[in-house]
Amino acid sequence: MATGGGTADWLGRIRTLTRPGSTGRAVVIVTVVVVALLGSAYALGRSLVPDQSPRRHATGTTADLSASPHYADQPPSATTSSSADQSGGPTESGQDGSGRDAGGDNLYGAHTTTGNGKVALTFDDGPDPQYTPQVLAALREYGVRATFCLVGENAQNHPDLVRAIVDDGHTICNHSWNHDVTLGSRSTDAIRQDLLRTNAAIRAAVPDAPIVWYRQPGGAWTYPVVSVAHSLGMTPVHWTVDPADWEAPGASRITTSVLSAVEPGSVVLLHDAGGNRQGTVDALHRILSDLTSRFELEALPTDPT
């Protein structure tokens, strides 16, 4: 911006130019001067206005909370509101809780280990006509019994696979009717009806099979869902090892994640449905080969204490 001396200089020039005989030139020069002064005033004003441009991450992209990934059975990320958050249950970072501390708070008493030195493999979201038979074949090859957490509508649609699971000596677990991760935030009556409907679908295929375990979708435990499960004679079960196979990272990563984390008493979370599970099936052969050489594998018992 021009100083006081500069302004006086311009005024002197204007007086000279406005003498008789120089009117046309004076008009042009005055116009230029006025425009210049206005431009200086505008620049000064802009410098006094705070920067209103959007904040950006270190990557240089504008923050967009709506762009976070949202998987088929995954509730919104912790940056958005969800009924599971409001109910006091843990937030979700994976289809069934990838990244959550299985031994942390907000499990409301759900089991996270076998309670002994044995290791339990659990398979969620089935049964599925493409992947469940492959999982059963692998388990049969290694003589291992596991626990299958069944979604009610899938059990209703594939009763033959429910029978195949039980015929091979595996344990059944209720995994809600349609994998509703917000189930724990609903009323106790709604939770009870959901769990009873799922049990009915399972028992329609295997009337005498005990259903003594319940796993909350997404691991989004709340006091009401744990309480209702107990009232129906089911013990809530979480997990110890989660390789995030729901994300289909490939057989090698699933294998490495499981084998590096398993220890005596671990409950391993895997999936035989809910998406492309071929990576899980392929990893299972390598997982079983290793774990059977180091641990005793068992299905979760039908008489939990």
User: CA-to-CA distance for 116 and 110, rounded, in angstroms?
Assistant: 16
Distance, in Å, from the CA atom of 258 to the CA atom of 271, rounded to the nearest integer, reads 13
DSSP 49: S
CB 173 within 8 A of CB 122: yes
Closest among 10, 8, 55 to 35, alpha carbons compared: 10
Which of 124, 194, 242, 272 is the catalytic position? 124
Annotation says 57 is catalytic:
no
Exactly one of 170, 242, 271, 272 is catalytic; which is it? 271
* Helices assigned H by DSSP within 64-214: 83-86, 132-142, 152-157, 159-167, 188-205
Confirm whether 242 is a catalytic residue: no
35, 46, 47, 95 from 4: Cα distances, Å: 18, 21, 20, 69
Q: Active-site residues: which are they?
A: 124, 271
